[in-house]
Amino acid sequence: CRNASLVGLSLLSPDGTHVKGDKPTKEAFLHRCIYCARPRDSAVIHTHSIHCVALSVLDGTNHEDVLPPLTAYYVMRVGTLPLVPYYPPGDEMLGEAVGLAAKSQHALLLANHGPVVSGRTLHEAQYALEELEETAKLFFLLGDRPVKCLSPEAVT
């Protein structure tokens, strides 16, 4: 993410009209739903990063908070990570589910799909997404070993 460039990005107006850049994907409506739910945020990033996608397909996870708080930066930049139920790509019901979840959380994991993160700035969203992907990677590296989770109180 830190080496991301503007190549391949689409610029859309607040109502979803394509302004410039690459043609938006059929999932551009997800961004609009998040902006409506989180008007103070000015950036939304959606990826298909490998460890987060792997996490999104696990069965039996806590849908209210899929990933344990393993590091201080995860707690500070992500907090909790709810799992949004699966809908086929482009399904408008996904937008409704994302918009509802985004009212209370800026980082979401779309089931069998990947993460979507918003932030007040592009850098804030980017750093949260990086922390999310790295923590998902740690989660898989740790396997079934017992872990010490952090609370928000332990970090502040």
d(CA 34, CA 73): 23
Asked whether the beta carbons of 82 and 66 are under 8 A apart, the reply is yes
Q: Which of 35, 73, 87, 130 is catalytic?
A: 73
Does 73 participate in catalysis according to the annotation?
yes
Q: Is 19 helix (H, G, I), strand (E, B) or coil?
A: strand
d(CA 69, CA 132): 10
In angstroms, the Cα distances linking 129 to 13, 49, 93, 124, 126 are 23, 9, 24, 9, 5
Q: What are phi and psi of 44, to 5 degrees?
A: -135, 130
Residues recognised as catalytic? 27, 73
